[in-house]
Structure 1
Amino acid sequence: MLEQRTRRRSLKFFRKRLRPPWLLNSPVRTTALVLAVVSVGFLLWISWESQDFERPQPRIDSSRRPFAPTQALDPSRLRLLPKEKHSQLFRYNGLWLFPKKQCECQNVNHPGNYNYQDAYNPSDVEAVKARRQREFWHFQRREGLPRPPMLVAQPNLPFSYPILGVEVMPLHTVQIPGLALSGSGASTNQIILKASLGTLNSLADTPDDVVQGRGGNSLIISTNDLELLNFILQHVTYTSTVFRLSAVDIVSMELGNQVARFPVTIRHPITPILYDPGPERKISSLVTVATKTFLRYHKLQILLRSIRDHYPDLRVIVADDNAQPEKIDDPLVEQYTMPFGKGWFAGRNLAVSQVTTKYILWVDDDYIFTNDTRIDRLVDVLEKTDLDVVGGRVGGNLFQFKLLLEPGEDGDCIHWRAGSFHPLPDFPSCVVTSGVVNFFLAHTHKLLSVGFDPKLQRVAHSEFFIDGLGSLLVGSCSDVGIGHQPKSPISDPKEATAERSYRGFRANTQEQVRFKLALHFFKNHLKCFTRG
């Protein structure tokens, strides 16, 4: 204890002896000490900076050094990939899906591949092409094609403006969001807004010399007050003046020689078509079965009995173009007769037109319902995804195919490939594809919107999916199936005669094949078809 007290007294004594006299008990001693330390530090830094010796430098990776702007660029460095390498990129199923003026179909002489214009006499081809081109232009005009040109933003524009999402109904008004000027450095800012399919205005209450052209195609805003300018821009409105169901107006925003452009979409909303499934939401309230029958009543009766075994209250629509229709004795079957041999697709149109439920299940008249015919699973897929059509297995076979379209100026190339594009999310047994077998569930209104070409009277299947390409999103599920009635020997003479007659109608003649090829050439603006 005595040693500690002695040590503290010694330290106190040395501090007093080492402290300058002018700081002893001075009220400014702390401030003076701080200034002294700072001054010494500054002098040391100046001395260090003036020394001529090499200080450690950060390590620079010369391989990642930025390009010097003053360095001359060797023109040979600006080159594209060689054609043989370029042509190996962007391939899908062996097809080079890269933009080009004309598409080509390889091996058109191979069985199953077609050059569609070969269906015409060579002397008629040019006249047919001219008629087709005129109809194609009409189609493009009605569909708003070609689309508005691509918009490319200029670098370092002082504007902010919407690049997507401004939409207005025909003859309606919308406020344009996001318009602003960040500052131009000019003493007076003059912004000019221009539209072609509508008029412009601002909700801001300003003198006429500040905002000119209200309610016209050109709105001029002039002010040196940036805050006022942005307030006016924040309240600019666009009014559609042309009644179009779908169109795009390109609005420009100018400041001197700086121009920004953005799209305003004019679109009329589609009126909903809703189907009431009833309070219990039963399958029979959601789904109607439809089929087309011709010459095979014995097959149709087997199909109908199998439907009743599995779905006793399911409504069925039958399109019938037999010469001597036989009445079907079932209160839940609606039978619609047609002229004899009217055709496969005409019958489909008739059957679909009579469906009043949300979904339609299409089946052939020689199918048979089994325990795997789980309509509820197909309904679940359509209810929870954006698919329009979903198919299943038939007789254990899963038939699905892809249709790949290559645009071309003189007609498009279409390529048929077996299989699917990719799995359907959340449904492990399902995939996305382009076409399925004649066992599918579909949204009724989507089937009606595409329709079945009544010119195709006999064999036709992929033709419907070609017509629906770009309109129908199709899927296929392997966990739902339907049976195919066996082709066993027929002992009944009447049924045997009917089967022989049916096979005669089902076969495609060379003339019918030529007709279908010519139909695709003109109606679908197609050039050729490959199957691989």
Structure 2
Amino acid sequence: MACEWLSPYSWASYPARAFSCKWLRRSYCSVRYVSILVLCIISTFLGSMYFKKPTENQTKGKISEAQSAMKLLSPENYKSLFTYNGIWLVPKNQCTCASAKHVEIYQMEDYVDKKDIASLRARRQREFEHYQKRYPSMTPDLVIAKANLPLSFPIQGVEVMPLCTIVIPGLRVQGLEEEKYKVILQASLGTLNTLADVSEDTVDGRGQKELTISTSDLELLNFILDHITYTSAVYQLHAVDLMTFRSRQHVARFPVITRQPSLPKLFDPGADRKISSLVTITTKTFLRYHKLRRLIASIRQYYPDIKIIVADDSRDPEKIEEANVEHYIMPFGKGWFAGRNLAISQVTTKYYLWVDDDYLFTENTRIDKLVDVLEGTNLDMVGGSVGGNTFSFQLLYEQGGDSGCLHLKYGSFHELAGFPHCTVTSGVVNFFLAHTDKSRQVGYDPALQRVAHSEFFMDGLGILLVGSCSDVSIGHQEHNPSSDPDPKVENEYRKFRANTPAQVQFKLALHYFKNRLKCYSKR
């Protein structure tokens, strides 16, 4: 017997119609309708449970649960996210140099005459404000793009030379339907215009800092926006104009950078690219001519034709009559960093290799390896090893509101990609190969006359990218009274070499003013 047909769309009639079938023992029809009936009952029950309106207490419970989930990590936990090598480097109102085991702490104001501290602070603040004018931040304002803007605009890469004109790419309005479109563009360091040939009713403010576009045609609006020009109005080497792009309630901001390109400074290494065409060896000597002559002899053993430049501020200069050695005489005791400045000022090669006057070249003093590192990376300087030690160190700078804190820690940041024996660091030992032009840019402060080394890297922080390689080394001449021609020379040298309390006080007071430091720690 046949079953009565059930429409698949008459779900409400399923239970009644299922029982309207004539009973057939073991019939397929009976099993099918009973199954449908059971499914309907279960679905109705589950649906009523799922769509049941939550009570007020349940709603409050969910809100309170969400609110309880919205909390920050404790300061003890989140501080580690902003900490590197034990130093919390997030800019803050006040930085500190915390006492710790094996750490030397120097509070800069302790080394400044107390009666002068007020006027010194005022002068330092004036100089810092002048410094900020000369070196303004290239991204002075934080810009956050709002969600789902119908405005298309460039977020980076728009550059113009001073007093020149460019077309701003990427300006468009999309997804808006209005009877009358009105778009406003605003600049602060330049003027705006469009190449589109339209009436003043459509474009108002040509050649001004604010340009208004009014039209009922979206296609025409985007045509005008495609041809908006920006003209730099002020001659500046580096400046950021944060422009505004507005359509009704929608506002976007994007940077236009004014930048004066600089001329490249290239050093010709010659067709053969010999080491002697790429590198000049530089050193500073004082009194110890016996050490200097041994150094030169060791250099000639491995690099017979390389140029050597010697800066000398000895009391009674001796002549250095060696081939391809330039000997520059300075006033007596002029100083360590003044001598370095003089030496590198006379370099005409792409790189210079700095060595102390009591070093000795060995078979492991492979200048070519250091050249390969600088040629194969973007490093500005790479140091080697002296007596098996690279003496590399990190400089970590905390920015504070009225002054900063500097921390020196021995070691490196990480390995240098492609050079397994090299690392990236902040400072290296007095045996390094460097780009001549970049070192001249930083310079060696001639006020530091006696003991100075890390101070150069402090001045170069953020300017110099430094590496250190342990597989290139140089020897160090041992102090041997029996072989020294005149013990008095070494004794006098040590008097000038000593880092006296007066020298320490002078250097720290200098850092207080020049580098705007509150404190300095060394580990």
| TM > 0.5 | yes
Counting only pairs closer than 5 Å after superposition, residues 353-432 of structure 1 correspond to structure 2 as 353-432=345-424
Distance 1:417 1:411 in 2: 20
User: Once the 2 structures are TM-superposed, how far is the Cα of residue 107 of structure 1 from its aligned partner?
Assistant: 2.0
8 Å Cα contact 1:183-1:226 kept in structure 2? no
1:253 corresponds to 2:216: no
1:87 alignment partner, SS class: helix
SS at match of 1:80: coil
Aligned AA (2:149): L
Partners of 2:195 and 2:228 within 8 A in 1: yes
Aligned to 1:22: none
Indicate which of 227, 237, 240 corresponds to 1:235: 227
What's the CA shift string for 1:210-234, capped at 9, x where partnerless?
1221121111111111111111111
Asked if the contact 1:378–1:480 (Cα under 8 Å) also holds between the matched residues in 2, the reply is: yes
Alignment equivalent of 2:506, drawn from 507, 510, 515: 515
Paired residue for 1:103?
95
CA distance in 2, matches of 1:411, 1:334: 43
CA distance in 1, matches of 2:41, 2:223: 58
Question: Where in structure 2 are the equivalents of 1:194-343 lying within 5 Å?
Answer: 194-343=186-335
Secondary structure at the aligned position of 1:447 is classed as helix
Q: Which residue of 2 aligns with 1:503?
A: 494
Distance 2:165 2:182 in 1: 24
Secondary structure of the residue that 1:46 maps to in structure 2?
coil
State the distance in 2 between where 1:300 and 1:217 align: 64
1:28 paired residue number: none
**1:123 and 2:86 aligned:** no
Seen in structure 2, the aligned counterparts of structure 1 residues 49 and 97 have a Cα distance that, compared at 3 Å, is farther
Paired with 1:181 and 1:492, the residues of 2 have a C-alpha distance of 82
Spell out, residue by residue over 1:393-421, the C-alpha distance to the aligned partner (whole angstroms, 9 max, x if none). Answer: 01222210000000001211001111000
- 2:138 and 2:240 in contact (8 A); partners too: no
* Bigger mean CA deviation after superposition, 203-212 or 501-510: 203-212
In structure 2, do the counterparts of structure 1 residues 439 and 69 end up closer, same or farther at CA, with 3 Å as the change threshold? farther
User: What is the root-mean-square deviation of aligned Cα atoms in Å?
Assistant: 2.4
Render the CA deviation track for 1:183-233: whole Å, top value 9, x for unaligned: 322211010001010111112222221122112111111111111111111
SS at match of 1:517: helix
Q: Is the Cα contact below 8 Å between 1:292 and 1:348 reproduced in 2?
A: yes
Shift of 1:111: 6.7
2:438 to 446, 462, 467: 446
C-alpha separation between the residues in 2 aligned to 1:130 and 1:197? 31
TM-score (ref. length: structure 1): 0.87
> Aligned runs of 1:89-100 on 2, under 5 Å?
89-100=81-92
**Shift, 1:147, TM fit:** 4.2
C-alpha distance in 1 between matches for 2:73 and 2:94: 21
**1:236-277, CA deviations, whole angstroms, 9 ceiling, x for partnerless residues?**
111111100000001101112221100111111121111011
- Report percent identity of matched pairs: 59
Among candidates 162, 171, 181, match of residue 163 of structure 2: 171
Question: Match for 2:509: what amino acid?
Answer: A
2:362 aligns to what SS in structure 1?
A: coil
Count of aligned pairs: 483
Q: Which moved more, 1:88-97 or 1:44-53?
A: 44-53
Q: Determine the structure 2 residue equivalent to 1:188.
A: 180
Contact 2:150-2:176 at 8 Å conserved across structures:
yes
CA contact (8 A) 1:393 1:481 kept: yes
SS at match of 1:216: coil
- Secondary structure, counterpart of 2:9 in structure 1: helix
Which residues of structure 2 form unaligned runs of 5+? 15-39, 51-58
Q: 2 CA distance for matches of 1:108 and 1:458? A: 29
CA 1:321/1:216 → structure 2, altered by over 3 Å: closer, same or farther?
Answer: same
> Structure 1 stretches of 5 or more lacking a match?
1-40, 62-67
Q: Distance in 2 between matches of 1:447 and 1:97?
A: 27
Question: When the two structures are superposed, what TM-score results if normalisation uses the length of structure 2?
Answer: 0.88
Whole-Å Cα distance in 2 between the matches of residues 335 and 195 of structure 1? 56
Gap change, CA 1:110 and 1:122, over 3 Å in 2: farther
Name the aligned partner's letter for residue 208 of structure 2.
G
Q: Which amino acid aligns with 2:258?
A: I
Secondary structure in structure 2 of the residue aligned to 1:113: strand
Give distance in 2, aligned partners of 1:111 and 1:48.
82
Structure 1 residue 88, shift from structure 2 partner: 3.6
